[in-house]
Amino acid sequence: MLLIVASIAWGALAFGAVYPWAFMPLLAVSLVVGLSSFAIKSPGTLNRPVAMSLLVVGIACAVQLAPFTRSTVRSISPATDRVLQQYDLEYQNRPNGRHGLSIDPPSTWRGLGFLASFGVLLVGMSRILTRRPVSRLATWITGFGALVAFTGIIQRAAFNGKIYGFWQPQMPSTPFGPFINRDHFAGWILMALPLAVGLFCGLVARDMHDLLGSTEGRIDGAGSLPWRRRLLWLSSPGASQIIIVGFAIVAMALSLVMSLSRLGLCGIGTALVIGGRFILQHRMERAQRVVCYGFVLLFIVGSVASVWAGLEEGVARFTDPGARDLGGRLPIWADTVRIIRDFPLTGTGLNTYGTATLFYQTTLPNEHVREAHNDYLQLAAEGGLFLGIPIGLAIAVFVREVYLRFREASDELTVYWIRCGAVAGLAAIALQSIGEFSLQMPGNAVLFTTLCAIALHKSRRGLAGSLVSSHR
- The dihedral of CA 418, 422, 424, 425: what is its sign? positive
- pLDDT for the residue 277: 64
| CA proximity to 148, closest of 175, 188, 183 | 188
Distance CA 255, CA 114 (A): 29
Tell me how far the alpha carbon of residue 369 is from its chain's centroid: 23
Helix (H, G, I), strand (E, B) or coil at 77: coil
State the CB neighbour count (10 A cutoff) for residue 131.
15
Q: H or E segment at 98? A: strand 98-99
Burial class (CB in 10 A: 0-12, 13-18, 19+), 448: buried
Measured CA distances, 440 to 16, 18, 351, 443 (Å): 9, 9, 10, 9
Does 236 or 359 have the greater pLDDT score? Answer: 359
pTM to 2 decimal places: 0.88
State the CB neighbour count (10 A cutoff) for residue 61.
26
Q: H or E segment at 290? A: helix 286-319
Measured CA distances, 200 to 157, 187, 427, 450, 458 (Å): 28, 20, 19, 18, 21
Distance CA 459, CA 39 (A): 19
Mean pLDDT over 149-167 rounds to: 81
Crossing angle between the packed helical segments 20-36 and 105-131, to the nearest 10 degrees: 40
The chain-wide mean pLDDT, for the chain, equals 81
Does 257 or 310 have the greater pLDDT score? Answer: 257
Contacts of 435 (CB under 8 A, 6+ apart): 263, 326, 327, 329, 373, 374
Answer yes or no: is pLDDT of 357 > 80: yes
- pLDDT for the residue 243: 85
Contacts of 182 (CB under 8 A, 6+ apart): 174, 175, 176, 259, 260, 261
- Which residues does residue 68 pair with via DSSP β-bridges, in sequence order? 99
| CA proximity to 439, closest of 452, 454, 456 | 452
Contacts of 392 (CB under 8 A, 6+ apart): none
Distance CA 334, CA 381 (A): 12
Answer yes or no: is pLDDT of 307 > 60: no
- pLDDT for the residue 189: 93
Distance CA 329, CA 255 (A): 25
Distance CA 472, CA 466 (A): 10
Mean pLDDT over 251-263 rounds to: 81
Helices (H) and strands (E) in the chain, counts: 19, 2
> To the nearest whole percent, how much of the chain has pLDDT over 70?
75
Answer yes or no: is pLDDT of 244 > 50: yes
- pLDDT for the residue 448: 97
* Tens-place pLDDT, residues 99-147: 899 999 999 999 999 999 999 999 999 888 876 678 899 999 999 999 9
Q: Are 132 and 453 in contact (CB under 8 A)?
A: no
| CA proximity to 271, closest of 325, 356, 336, 198 | 198
* Tens-place pLDDT, residues 34-69: 888 877 665 447 788 999 999 999 999 999 999 999
Crossing angle between the packed helical segments 329-342 and 353-360, to the nearest 10 degrees: 100
